[in-house]
Structure 1
Amino acid sequence: MYTKEEIIKKIMRIRKEIGHDQVEPEIKELHYYHNDELTIITPDRPEKSIIIGKGGWVVGKLREELKVKSIHVISYTDIILKEYQLGLSVKHVKKLLDNNIIPEECLEPFDNLYDLLKLREKTPYNNTTIKEYIEENINRKPVQDAKIAVALSGGVDSSFSTILSKALGFNVLTVTVDPGTIILPNQFRRNINNLTTTINVPHEYVKTDMTHIIQDALSGKIHPCGRCSSHIEEVVLNKVKQEEIPIMTYGDLLSTGSQSITKKEDIIRINLPALFRMEKTEIKDIVTKYSVNKIKGYGCPLVVQVHKKYPQYRPFSIQRVLRETRAGILEPGEALDLINTI
């Protein structure tokens, strides 16, 4: 294990070797986990940028030199915000439990959720807490009556919701709305099959007709994402009602605090990544262990076609990327990669 001073010297040397400006970063704390994962906490975002470097070159070369599996760089100012948002989540979940909002049959996994959330609040910079919890509990026997439906798209966020729901002890049913390959291409279907097989959860495709949305998008009348999301949510909600499942969960990252768990028409909706204030890098680090592959680029084939035919709609997609970047969920480098594909 290296000291802060040794790490700083290595960063300065690496920056010099690759032609970056010679500046000395400040490191507030170092945290090693299992000797192959390192978290570097900087005072603020400028120091974080110095350590990451343009295109992630500096931190990439540092990781190779230190021979660690991963390096997570986070600023202390981001930690303060994250702690505050997690505190709101803990407070909101406790209120739901105290007011008997949660169905009795779901109390055991919900208590597990509350306990894990409090652990996350204590060390918001440490993804190991959730990773270890999942690894220890992914094969636990679910509480039979604690049913939860997960809207599984095949992307990393909904895959995380599926994995964590099972580890918490819920009896999981994964549901995928299928409008055809122009919106749900084969690489997403492969992820869905791989994940549900790997962790042994039931899955159902629900066919739906989105011809009107597809035609309006391809004729340039609309950007499809808003109407597509609303339609899919409606189909999932109808399926949940039909199966008499009291809780549904999504992969939403932005609806933190009191908005991470809401109740609509007697159905509780949980946005698990937002509830636990997860970041994209943390989510990807977890889901890849469960046969979920990262899908390159932004959006489905329909969105790609809209971007090509109607460039005026590209800013709408870019704004969606920037929302996650401003919230600290998406690293600027990742955001730039997505914007370049748009």
Structure 2
Amino acid sequence: MKPNQISEHVDAIRQELNLTRGISPRIENVYEHDDSSLHLVTSDRSEKSLLLGPGGRVVAELAKRTERKITIYGTDEILLRRHRLRLTMSRIEEIALDLTDSQKIVVTWLKHLIEQELSYPENQIHYKSVIRKNLKIALAFSGGTDSTASTRILTESGFIPDAILVDLGHHFQNPVDIKLAEDWCFKQKVNLVRIGVVGASADLLERVDAGRIHPCGECHNKIMACIREYVIQTQCDVLVTGELLPSGRQSITLNEGLLIIHLPAALSLSKHRTETIAEESGKKLFRRKFGCNLVAKSHSKGWKNIGPSIFRVLRELEAGVLTTGQSLEYIKNIVQE
């Protein structure tokens, strides 16, 4: 479809909904992908806001009338995203001379993905490539949306990763969620490595019960320490995570011979993109929930722990990882727990 055809639909929808704020939003480009989805590019955030409409009503009706899945981008957010991708590229060049042969294979693949992402949404992303099947690569896996999407990108690209799930116990993760993660890995033929940590978190639990600490930072460090230990034991020199925030140069670290790639951040993916990739892989998406069981428990101790969780959501909103609607869902979940 052409921009003027979409604009005619949008003008009609806005009139029917009696939306008189602003002027008719300008649609600069329309890209159609292989799955028939439409990707609309507007001038900036203000134009995108009008095209979405209050509560997403305009774009929802547009999707209904065109019978297409529709995603909207502002030119300003595309420019920022491409800037971050180029920063990731610059980081690869910084460490190029210090990489092992297997790490060089991984970053060459990553550069190929970044080059594709630089032409998105004009062109659809294709992850398939030829990778040595015996190449060792580890993945920090929680079973959540972002680590699931990262796993999917790796397997679609030809890697056979070890998905490492650190099980800290029922205080942190629901057994049902663990089972869902196991089932997903089995269906995807992904090797799930489950590491149980017994008794190591008693002190953290006591401090959360007393309302003295927000658990996220310490818990994250504990999980990464367990994964690093496994990686060292298995002599793997590449670790991939599903982190979204440390974008650009911060998305890749090389420390004591271990290459860590925060894959969604390195590719400057949004939560919408990781949810889409995860859903396409067969993962069922339920209502958005912030954090693990222990984080939810910490919120009952008052603003001292609610504040840092909301701040995290706002950081992801500011970074363009979350939309305002997604952020509102997470904040509602935080304050209602």
Q: Same fold (TM over 0.5)?
A: yes
Q: Deviations over 1:207-239 (max 9, x none)?
A: 112122122112211111111111111111111
- Number of the residue aligned with 2:203: 212
How is 1:255-334 mapped onto 2 (pairs within 5 angstroms)?
255-296=246-287, 297-334=289-326
2:114 counterpart of 1:117:
yes
CA apart distance, 1:194: 3.1
Relative distance call for 1:18 and 1:218 in structure 2 (3 A) is farther
Alignment check: 8 A CA contact 2:48 2:74 kept: yes
Tell me how far 1:156 sits from its aligned partner: 1.0
Matches within 5 A, 1:1-342: 1=1, 3-22=2-21, 23-34=23-34, 36-68=36-68, 70-97=69-96, 99=97, 101-121=98-118, 123-125=119-121, 128-129=124-125, 132-133=126-127, 136=128, 142-144=132-134, 146-208=135-197, 209-296=200-287, 297-342=289-334
State the Cα deviation string for residues 176-212 of structure 1 (Å, max 9, x = none).
1101122121343144223312221211111112122
Question: Which whole-Å deviations, capped at 9, do the CAs of 1:267-309 have from their partners, x for residues lacking one?
Answer: 1111000111111111111111222222422111222222234
Please state whether the residue corresponding to 2:137 is helix, strand or coil: strand
Partner Cα separation in structure 2 for residue 220 and residue 21 of structure 1: 49
Contact 1:113 1:168 in 2 (8 A): no
Contact in 2 for aligned 1:51/1:59 (Cα 8 Å): yes
* Alpha-carbon distance between aligned partners in 2 of 1:172 and 1:92, rounded to the nearest angstrom: 23
Which amino acid in the other structure matches residue 325 of structure 1?
L
Shift of 1:102: 2.5
Please identify, of 279-288 and 183-192, the stretch whose mean Cα deviation from structure 2 is larger.
183-192
Aligned equivalents of 1:182 and 1:284: distance in 2? Answer: 25
**Residues 171, 34 of structure 1: CA spacing in aligned structure 2 closer, same or farther, 3 A cutoff?**
closer
d(CA) in 2 for partners of 1:119, 1:217 = 44
The number of residue pairs the alignment matches comes to 330
Segments of 5+ residues of structure 2 without an aligned counterpart are none
Change over 3 Å in CA distance of 1:253–1:103 after alignment to 2: same
Q: Deviations over 1:41-85 (max 9, x none)?
A: 1111011111112222211111111101x2111100111111111
Aligned partner letter, 1:67: E
Q: Distance in 2 between matches of 1:238 and 1:289?
A: 32
Which amino acid letter does the alignment assign opposite residue 90 of structure 2? K
Confirm or deny: 8 A CA contact 2:31 2:121 kept in the other structure: no
AA aligned to 2:46 is: P
**Counterpart of 2:273 in 1: which secondary structure?**
helix
Amino acid at match of 1:306: S
| Structure 1 contact 106–147 (Cα < 8 Å) conserved | no
Q: Determine what percentage of the aligned residue pairs are the same residue.
A: 28
Tell me how far 1:246 sits from its aligned partner: 0.7
Q: Secondary structure at the match of 1:147?
A: coil
Distance 1:57 1:246, change over 3 A: same
Q: Look up the SS of the partner of 1:329 in the other structure.
A: coil
Q: Give TM-score scaled by structure 2 length.
A: 0.91
Contact 2:138 2:238 in 1 (8 A): yes
Unaligned stretches of 5+ in structure 1?
A: none
